[in-house]
Amino acid sequence: MHGTIPLQRLRNSDLVSLTANLEIRGRVANDKFRLFFSLFSEIFLSLWALRFRWKIILKK
């Protein structure tokens, strides 16, 4: 009976470790997506603003 308790603890600790690892990976992926999206939107909005600026300049 005492032999199975450490095995059960080992499995629980492995499960906790795996869950924490997956949570960290999820956060990193989420942060990368946020960074990519913010950079993309910043570039897109800058180009969009330049487009209107050039239209105004060319009309004058």
**Which tokens belong to 14?**
């492995």
Which two three-digit tokens encode residue 35?
Answer: 């960074």
- pLDDT over 50 (residue 60): yes
Q: How many domains does the chain have?
A: 1
Return the structure tokens found at 58. 């060319």
Please state, in angstroms and rounded to a whole number, the distance separating the CA atoms of residues 41 and 49.
12
Tell me the pLDDT tens digit for each residue of 25-52: 888 888 888 899 999 999 999 988 888 7
Residue 54 has pLDDT above 90, yes or no: no
Mean pLDDT confidence for 6-35: 76
Q: What is the 3-state secondary structure (H, E, C) of 3-17?
A: CHHHHHHHHHHHHHH
Structural domain span for residue 21: 1-60
Q: What is the pTM of this model?
A: 0.48
